[in-house]
Amino acid sequence: MTLQEFYTAIGGDYEGVLGRLMRNEKMVQKFVLKFLNDQSYETLIRAMEEKNYEEAFRAAHTIKGVGQNLGFTKLFSSAGQLSEALRNGFTPEAPALAEEMKADYQQTVEAIRALQETLNA
């Protein structure tokens, strides 16, 4: 899997992220792979389980920002919807939005791992 194929697989914005990172594909690749080390998703899941909606908001907002910067369009969108739903605490739509974001996150992580396997081969 190439980096461009990765972006296609997740419905991302390959050209946009290249533009933000001055068309340096190696730099984009480096930051895409570093995404696997980010703990915001685990923080979000834990905070939702603990009903700590302020911390859940911060984690969702962080994922939204990273998603935007890296051109992870679907993840950026779903994390943005969730962060808005949590901005002022719990809302009834937050659990369903969290599930949608979880699916987008899993798709992104699976594609990153496939990219990583290709690069390590």
Tell me the whole-structure pTM to 2 decimals.
Answer: 0.89
CATH number of the domain where residue 66 is located: 1.20.120
Place of tokens 């685990």: 42
| pLDDT score at 5 | 94
Going from the C-alpha of 116 to that of each of 3, 35, 59, 73, 111, the distances in angstroms are 10, 12, 25, 20, 9
| pLDDT score at 24 | 81
Total number of domains in the chain: 1
- In single-letter form, the type of residue at position 66 comes to V
Q: Which two tokens stand for residue 65?
A: 């920002």
Q: What is the pLDDT along the chain (121 residues), one digit of tens a residue?
A: 999 999 999 999 999 998 887 778 888 999 999 999 999 999 999 999 999 999 999 999 999 999 999 999 999 999 999 999 999 999 999 999 999 999 999 999 999 999 999 999 8
**Residue 54 to residue 63: CA distance in whole angstroms:** 14
Expressed as residue numbers, the domain containing 72 is 3-120
